[in-house]
Amino acid sequence: MRPVLSIVSTLVYVYSLLIFGRLILSWFPLHPGTASYRVYSFLYDVTEPYLKPFRRVVPPIRSGNAAIDLSALVGLVVLYIVQLVLARL
């Protein structure tokens, strides 16, 4: 059973990296057709199904015309807790 937990733990870690990559790329202006835009689109498509429920629960923090979306941070914290639980099994 241990090899299965190791694989799941690795997948959770890789998914965390994908979310982190999406978070970092969201800070920069991206233009359609560029390589960075294609990478961001891929990361968005892969991570959005996981982050969407968190976005419904955690509203963005508004500051004037800007808004900070904390759903990625909450999603990363949940994945970190899953990593901790898997490490203890």
- pTM of the complete model: 0.87
d(CA 83, CA 79): 6
Q: Which of 75, 86, 7 is nearest to 46 (CA)?
A: 75
Question: How confident is the model over 6-64, as pLDDT tens digits?
Answer: 899 999 999 999 999 999 998 899 999 999 999 999 999 999 999 999 999 998 888 88
Q: What does residue 41 show for φ and ψ, rounded to 5 degrees?
A: -60, -40
Domain definitions of the chain by residue range: 2-88
Which residues lie below 8 Å from residue 55, measured CB to CB, with a gap of 6+?
69, 71
